Amino acid sequence: MKPRTFFYFLREALRGLVRNRVMTLTALGIITIGLFLFGLFFLLTANLHHLTVLAWDEIEIRVFLEPTVKNPEKIGAELAALPGVKSVKYVSKAEGAASLEKMLGNQNLFLEGENPLPAAFNLSLLETADLQSLVRLASAVPGVEEVVFKQDFVRFLEIAIRLIMVFGLALLFLTAFAVLYIIINTIQLTVYARRREIEIMKLVGATDSFVRWPFLLEGIILGLLGAGLALLILKEGYAFLIQKIQFYRRFLPLLSGPELELILMAVLLGMGLFFGGLGSHVSLKRHLKV
Amino acid sequence: MLIAKKLTKIFNNGVVALDQVSLTVQKGEFVFLVGPSGAGKSTFLNLIIRQEVPTSGLIAVNRQNLAYLKKREIAYLRRNIGVIFQDYKLLPQKTVYENVAFALEVIETKARLIRPRVYAVLELVGLLNKANLLPSELSGGEQQRVCLARALVNRPLLLLADEPTGNLDPDTSWGIMELLLEVNRRGTTIVMATHNREIVDHMRRRVIALDRGKLVRDTPKGGYTLET
Ligand SMILES: Nc1ncnc2c1ncn2[C@@H]1O[C@H](COP(=O)(O)OP(=O)(O)OP(=O)(O)O)[C@@H](O)[C@H]1O
Ligand SMILES: [Mg+2]
């Protein structure tokens, strides 16, 4: 495309947006709301997921060793090599007793030399760990007596993570489709308002792509503007929320930081651009059949 | 210039608008297309610019079989055909100048060529002094002439005029006819659909008559009806 032609398209697109001011603002409002909702669900899902991952990190699997074991390092290495294990920490007999005493608040729980606790390893898990098979494998390592973990809590977490992933993704997809749908419909209105112009263009010999470009640019501009506005609202709203619940931070550690902001920005702007363009494309299809 | 062979158009609702019409129009001819309302005149013109697609039969313009045209080629075909639409098809929010220039802009004419060409054609149709008015500020005949100017601005090989004198008083009608004759003299082939008996009888050009989709008469230097 020649630069002159591109500027013609851009000028026509801007003209179209300015000429149909009411339509433009309505479309922009609707796109902004749609993308805002999408961003909201995105943050919600991301945070729920984050919470469950944090909880998952808290899970500890304790692997007790047989009292006769002489070489715990070798067993530790074997455990660390199992799939799904993030790290391995050795807890000696004495340490185990100390932490138990501390927990129970009794300094002299055991008589000297009669510590019945075996030495153990604490395993922390990767997010992707398959607990069942990990427990099975760990139990099979020679020298391991017993593998202990909070079974109910782990079950609950496993289900929660899966549910959040499934529902979160489904919700995001649905919102994305809804946003695309309303974008198509709003752009269809602007296209409809200018169907005569399109018809005449085609009848005097304009090519389809010539007719399409200004609308495509219009859609893209609308989509990007809508995404920008939605981002602004989300960013300010989220910052406000985080500041409000600063106090509860320990219990409700929300995601934050430039990385999240960048991802959200990329996702929303990408959606605005893609949906705006696609919306125009779809809306125009029928009218180009002249 | 224009060839139709057993051209048939049946609309989705079952109306047979054209029924096995065969005819040839040579380059430089001036042809009247007559017939009662609903005879299929507009449909025939719409097939020529491929606004409609035939149900069966062949239509060729400038030795191009329209059935084999790709989308882009249809656009290029239309650049060689000027059309005066029965309903003008002017853009209400554009001025006279812009309406005519629009036809050149959208076929990507070089910018520096647009202005002189538009002014030249506006002068030809006698609308130079109304270039900056909106269509709503013009009379029917003036709007008709804007439509003619737009059809001519790209110097088409073929001009299709669908009732260009419909709704016009006799004087204005003759004004339009003189313009068409002048354009024809400069080499443009013209096919004009009309109900205007007086004009057809006076001009003594080739007359093709349609009735209920059938070609019923094709006379060189004919009149509006057989007797005249
Ligand atoms: N898009 C369409 N769908 C269905 N039927 C149509 C369509 N366009 C035209 N027709 C029918 O085809 C027939 C021919 O119509 P056409 O417009 O070609 O007539 P015409 O000769 O131009 O009439 P007029 O002199 O009134 O302009 C009519 O019966 C009309 O109802
Ligand atoms: Mg007609």
- Going from the Cα of B162 to the center of ligand 2, the distance in angstroms, rounded, reads 7
Whether residues A107 and A225 fall in one domain? no
Residue nearest to atom 25 of ligand 1 (CA): B37
Instruction: Flag the least confident range among A82-86, A273-277, B93-97, B126-130.
Output: A82-86
**Tokens at A228, concatenated:** 């920008």
The pocket of ion ligand 2, defined by CB under 5 A, consists of: B 42
| Amino acid A19: pLDDT | 80
Whether residues A165 and A264 fall in one domain? yes
Report yes or no: B5 and B57 within 8 Å, Cβ to Cβ. Answer: yes
Name the closest ligand to CA B37: 1
Asked whether the beta carbons of residue A290 and residue B51 sit closer than 8 angstroms, the reply is yes
Residue A215 bridge partners (DSSP): none
pLDDT tens sequence across B158-191? 999 999 988 788 888 898 899 999 999 999 999 9
Whether residues A34 and A118 fall in one domain? no
Confidence of residue B194 (pLDDT cuts 50, 70, 90): very high
For A245, the 3-state DSSP assignment is coil
Does the global pTM surpass 0.90?
A: no
**Tokens at B207, concatenated:** 């007359």
- Going from the Cα of B193 to the center of ligand 2, the distance in angstroms, rounded, reads 7
Boundary (domain end) residue, out of A115, A131, A149: A149
Torsional class of B33: left (φ above 0), alpha (ψ -120 to 50), beta (otherwise)? beta
| Amino acid A113: pLDDT | 60
For A132, the 3-state DSSP assignment is helix
Residue nearest to atom 5 of ligand 1 (CA): B11
Domain containing A197 equals: 3-55+157-288
Residue A114 pLDDT greater than 70, yes or no: no
**Angstrom distance (rounded) from CA B218 to CA B211:** 12
Whether residues A164 and A277 fall in one domain? yes
Choose among B49, B75, B154: nearest Cβ to A207: B75
Whether residues A125 and A223 fall in one domain? no
Whether residues A39 and A142 fall in one domain? no
**Angstrom distance (rounded) from CA A289 to CA A284:** 9
Whether residues A246 and A104 fall in one domain? no
Report yes or no: A129 and A79 within 8 Å, Cβ to Cβ. Answer: no
Whether residues A99 and A223 fall in one domain? no
Whether residues A130 and A232 fall in one domain? no
The CATH number given to whatever domain includes residue A74 is 3.30.70.3040
Whether residues A166 and A142 fall in one domain? no
| Amino acid A85: pLDDT | 86
Please report the domains of chain B, with CATH numbers, ordered by start residue: 1-80+156-222 (3.40.50.300), 89-155 (no CATH)
Q: Chain-wide mean pLDDT for chain B?
A: 92
Residue B50 forms contact with A (CB below 8 Å):
no
pLDDT tens sequence across A265-282? 999 999 999 988 888 888
Boundary (domain end) residue, out of A130, A149, A168: A149
How many structural domains are present in chain A? Answer: 2
Whether residues A201 and A271 fall in one domain? yes
Whether residues A165 and A144 fall in one domain? no
pLDDT tens sequence across A53-78? 777 777 778 888 888 877 888 888 88
| Amino acid A107: pLDDT | 61
Boundary (domain end) residue, out of A98, A131, A149: A149
Q: What interface predicted TM-score (ipTM) does this complex get? A: 0.89
**Angstrom distance (rounded) from CA A279 to CA A216:** 8
Q: How many CA atoms lie within 13 A of A273 on its CB side?
A: 6
Choose among A4, A19, A204: nearest Cβ to B106: A204
Substitution site in B21, B42, B200 for ligand 1 pocket (most atoms within 8 Å of beta carbon)? B42
